[in-house]
Structure 1
Amino acid sequence: MDRNNPTVPLIFDIQVLVIVGLTVAALVSIFRTRHDRAGSKFWWSVLTVVLPVIGPAAWFLFGAPPLRKRIH
């Protein structure tokens, strides 16, 4: 294994930045959305932080209201 290969750390850094960015974007979206049930923001936030890839993906696919509802 070549330890002088700078590509491996770069790819790892990009992955970390993407995961952190996705998590932050999901958290911002969660807190800007109105929820019908109490505690909904809390549980979506917990899911997003505990499962940093699956949580935001679940939020954007299933939890976030449709774009039409957000515009009006």
Structure 2
Amino acid sequence: MTQLTGSVETPTIPLAYDLTWTALVAACVALTVAALVSIFRTPHDRMASKFWWSALVVVIPFVGAGVWFLFGAPPLRRAQAERSS
């Protein structure tokens, strides 16, 4: 192998792209974990509903967590009233 002398280019991506993707992945992981914790802390009528909600969040993390927080999670006031009684 012949090694060239002079300038060496690194085949890496720019730092801004790397940091942006890292932040997006970290946010997706945090949202998924928060949704799973919320699912398991919420009382459900059937155990199967916990399974299907958590399966949705694990298979389609960002969309599944968003759907859970928009439609599946109980409203905050109702959840606080259930805990206090």
TM-score normalised by L of structure 1: 0.92
Bigger relative contact order, structure 1 or 2 (CA pairs below 8 A, ≥6 apart): 1
User: Bigger radius of gyration, 1 or 2?
Assistant: 2
5+ residue gaps, structure 2, are 1-10
Distance in 1 between the 2:50 and 2:35 partners? 11
Which structure 1 segments of 5+ residues have no match?
A: none
Runs of 4+ in 1 over 4 A off after TM superposition: none
Range moving further from structure 2, 18-27 or 36-45: 36-45
1:47 aligns with 2:56: yes
After superposition, the CA RMSD in angstroms is 1.4
Identity over aligned pairs, percent: 55
The TM-score normalised by the length of structure 2 is: 0.78
Change (3 A) 1:4 1:20: closer
Q: How many residues align?
A: 71
In the aligned structure 2, how far is the partner of 1:68 from the partner of 1:19? 26
